[in-house]
Amino acid sequence: MLTFLADEIRRETYVNLMDQYRPRYRVRTDSRYEEIGRRVRSEEFRECDSVRARELGLRLA
């Protein structure tokens, strides 16, 4: 998502990183959404922290 924002929107975009994503409705059970059908793991969130956002030129809100 950060790469998409940096490449497709603009690098000066402000972002606020939070680990609160909770899949709802069909996303939890439909195999088409397997990649986003679960909560973010703690280790995944730590990997995608403010350092990565800054590397991409994004600004933290």
Q: Which domain holds residue 26?
A: 2-60
Per-residue pLDDT of the chain (61 residues; tens, 9 = 90+): 778 888 888 888 887 778 888 888 888 888 898 888 888 888 888 777 677 888 888 887 7
Structural domains counted in the chain: 1
What pTM does this model have? Answer: 0.49
25: left (phi over 0), alpha (psi -120 to 50) or beta: left
Q: Tell how strand 59-60 and strand 14-15 pair up.
A: parallel
